[in-house]
Amino acid sequence: MLRKLSRLFVIKTRFEAFLIIYALALGATARGTAYLHQYPGFGGKLLFLATTGAVFLGGAKILDCLKLEKEVAALRAQAGKQQG
């Protein structure tokens, strides 16, 4: 049962990854807007840029990991065919 529950929190497809990245971007822009109000001027703009930049880095990492997992699964399947 716990294994089934944990599978809900695994990103399996690019569509799921893009949904998560979109949600992260919404949160980052909301936080960035709060920074702009809290720290008017150049400092607030830098913090806004940092929050949105973190989403770009995180999103790229998520997409790279999905690609890597797909390649590893293909290699394992190929190795299984060679052994069998």
Summarize pLDDT for 43-73 with one digit per residue, the tens.
999 999 999 999 999 999 999 999 999 999 8
DSSP string, 7-63: HTTS--SHHHHHHHHHHHHHHHHHHHHHHHHHSTTHHHHHHHHHHHHHHHHHHHHHH
In a domain, 57, yes or no: yes
Whether the pLDDT of residue 80 is over 90: the answer is no
Containing structural domain, residue 39: 26-84
Q: Considering its fold, how many domains does the chain have in total?
A: 1
pTM of the complete model: 0.81
- Tell me whether residue 14 is in a domain: no
In a domain, 10, yes or no: no
Does residue 21 sit within a domain? no
Q: What's the mean pLDDT in 12-40? A: 95
